[in-house]
Amino acid sequence: FADDMKKLVIFDLDGTLLNTIADLGNAANYTLKELGLPQHTLDEYRLMVGNGMRKLIMRALPEDKAVNDAFVDTTLAAFLNYYAAHIDVYTKPYPGIPKLIKALSTNGYTLAVASNKIQAGAQKLIEKFFPDIEFVAVMGNSPDYPLKPDAALVEYIMQKAGTDRQHTIMVGDSGTDIQTARNAGIPII
């Protein structure tokens, strides 16, 4: 590697590596339906994702329910329970992504994932769709780190990979990813 060449590529998961919107939307709609609340289209859910599962649920709920923390907590728990069991029904990699990941890995790049998806879900999806690829870290939402756009996940991944800002790049699909990269002081695609 040249000194200024990127060595570590940190990917967002939902909307970047994997098209997960159908499973997220279906799980949210299932939960809303069980509560007798209005449901949303997948296009509407595209505008609700990107800031973690709690925010997704708050955005999906009617306003009067979204301000009630206890109701949000109960709804989130029901959503996560259903989503965990149905996380990979419709989810699949975007066209060309498996080939890209394989090429980067084969060419010596260190790969990682920084996601606001629940940790167990992020891990499960990476293992299912990229079983032959070694990721230095697959980081999702956990009590140990704040959600993106906080730079903590990126900082941890760089430390684990033994690299620095100069040799790291992030790949994402949302304003949250752009802000995360800015907060970490790294470039983003």
Q: Residues 81, 121: contact at Cβ < 8 Å?
A: no
How far apart (Å, rounded) are the C-alpha atoms in residues 87 and 85?
6
Residue 132 CB-density burial (10 A; 0-12 exposed, 13-18 middle, 19+ buried) = exposed
> In one letter, which amino acid is 127?
E
Residue 96 CB-density burial (10 A; 0-12 exposed, 13-18 middle, 19+ buried) = exposed
| Distance of alpha carbon 159 from the chain centroid | 20
Backbone angles phi, psi at 123, to 5 degrees: -60, -45
Phi-psi region of 108 (alpha: psi -120 to 50; beta: other; left: phi over 0): left
Q: Which residues are catalytic?
A: 12
Number of residues assigned to the chain: 189
